[in-house]
Amino acid sequence: MQITIIGTGYVGIVAAVCLAKLGHNVTAMDRESVIQSLQSNKAHVWEPGLQELLTECNEEGNLHFDADMASATANADALLIAVGTPTRADGHTDLSQIENVLEQLKQSGNCPPLVIVKSTVPVGTCDELEANLHGAGLRADVVFNPEFLRQGSAINDFMYPDRIVFGCQSRHSEIMLRQIYQGIDAPIQVCDRRSAELIKYASNTFLAMKISFANMMADLCEGYGADIRQVMKGVGTDRRIGPHFLQAGVGYGGSCFSKDLQSLLTSGKVIGRSLPLLEATAQINDQRIPQLVVKLISLWENPNGKRLGVLGISFKPNTNDVRDAPFLTLLKLCQHHRIDVHAYDPVVQQVAFEGVTVADSPYEMAAHSDAIILMTEWPQFVELDWVRMVQLMRQSILLDGRNVLSDEVVAQLMELDGVTYVPVGRPVEQSVEQRVY
C-alpha cells in the first residue's frame, strides 16, 4: 500500500520505518531541513534501533522523503498525520499543525481516500476534520488510530503492541486499516472515533495517575519509616494492578503525560465535568521537584553559590527528548536559589537553555560538586564507580531521585566519612533488600 506520513517526529519517523519494514511503500513529509537529513540517512531523533531500521529501509528502496504536499500525496492510498499537538497557555490543545495539514490538502486539491490521525487530539477533532475535507470537495474517510509508543522502546512497541485501536465510522476504512497492519500480531479493537480519541487520553492519564500514586505513597513512607520499594512491590504483584509505573521518584515528564492530562482537564471544563482525580495527579507531580529542592537546601547552610551535579537531562532513559523533563523544573529552581548546575547525560550533549554546564563525563560533573541529584535512571549510572564519584565531590551529598542505587552500593557509601545519601520514600538504614519466598 502507498502510505504518506505527515510529520517525522518521534511518532512519525517510527511509523514510517516500521510500515516500510512491513512492506508498504512509504513517503514521509516534513520541512525541507528535516527531509534533507533523512535523505542523507541521518535520523534526527535518538531512539534505539531507529538509525539501523532507517538505513535498512533506505537500502530496500521503499522509504521516501518529500517536503511538498502535492507530490507526497499524489499516489497515496492513505495519509497518516503525526504532527505535534502541544498544549496552549490557556490549557486547550493547539491544533494549528493539524489545521495546516488541512489547508495544504485543500490547496493541493488532492487527498488520499483514507486519512489516519495519529496525533493526540481532543474528542471530536476527527469528526470536524472529515467535515472540513468533505466541505472542500475532498472525499476521504478520517479515522483515529492512537499510538501507544514509549520513547526508548518505540520500534518494539509499534511492531509488538499490546493492542491496536481503530476509531472509524465505516467498514471500508476498517478493512484498509487491517491491510496496513497486516503482519503485526496484536488484538484489534474497533470502535467509533470519539471513543478512540478518549482511549488515548484515558491511557496516558491513567499511567500518570499510577506514578503520582506511588509518589504520594513515598511521602507517606518517609513519614512512617517504611520502604516505598517494598510497598509498591507488594501492591504491584497483585495481577489486578501490575508492577508497571509504580516506581516513586522525581515525577513524570515528557511530551505526553502532562500535556494530555491538562488537555483532558480542559476538555472536562468545556462540557461542565470536573475531574478531581486528574487534578490531584497533576498537583502531586508538580510538587515533586520543589520538595526535592527543599530537601537539598536543608542539607546546606546556604545554597547561594553551591555547585550541584545532575545525572540525567532527558525525561527518561534511552531518549534524547528533554520536553517537559523534570530536569528543566529543577534548573529553574536552582537558578532562583543561585545554585550552579553542572549536568551529564549519555545522549543529551548540548542544551538550548541557559544556566547549566554540560559535562563530558559523570566524573567531570561530580568533581567539586556540593551535591549530586540522580534525575534519570540511565542504566549506565548504576554501573558508575560511586566511591570514586563521592570522593571527587566537595560535599558528599547524594540524592537518589529514582531509587536506582543498589543496597550494596549504598551500604558501601555509608561506610565512608561524611557521605549523606537521600533516597525517595525509604529510610537509608534499610540496606538489606527483603525478599518474598
Q: Position 36: which residue type?
A: Q
C-alpha cell read off for 79? 495519509
Consult the annotation and say whether 39 binds a ligand: no
Does the annotation place 417 within a ligand binding site? yes
Say if CB 155 and CB 18 are below 8 A apart.
yes
| Residue among 337, 351, 321 at smallest CA distance from 252 | 321
Determine if residue 120 is labeled as part of a ligand binding site: yes
**Three-state DSSP class for residue 28:** strand
374 forms beta bridges with 311, 400
Annotation marks residue 18 as catalytic = no
Distance CA 324, CA 327 (A): 8
64: which residues sit within 8 A by CB, 6+ positions away? 25, 26, 27, 28
Ligand-binding site membership of 90 (annotated): no
249 is in an annotated binding site: yes
Among the residues of 169-247, which ranges form H helices? Answer: 171-180, 193-224, 228-236
From 57, 168, 256, 334, active-site residue: 256
Is 30 annotated for ligand binding?
Answer: yes
**Residue 78 φ then ψ, to 5°:** -145, 145
Is residue 4 annotated as involved in ligand binding?
no
- Per DSSP, what are the bridge partners of residue 76? none
335 assigned ligand-binding residue: no
Is 85 annotated as a binding-site member? yes
248 is in an annotated binding site: yes
The pairing of beta strand 420-422 with beta strand 397-400: parallel
Region for 157 from its dihedrals, namely left if φ exceeds 0, alpha if ψ lies in -120 to 50, beta otherwise: alpha
The Cα–Cα gap between 203 and 162 comes to 12
68 is in an annotated binding site: no
Residue ranges of the annotated binding site are 30, 85, 120, 200, 245-249, 253, 259, 316, 323, 417
Residue ranges of the annotated binding site for substrate are 200, 245-249, 253, 316, 417
Residues serving a catalytic function are 256
Residue ranges of the annotated binding site for NAD(+) are 30, 85, 120, 259, 323
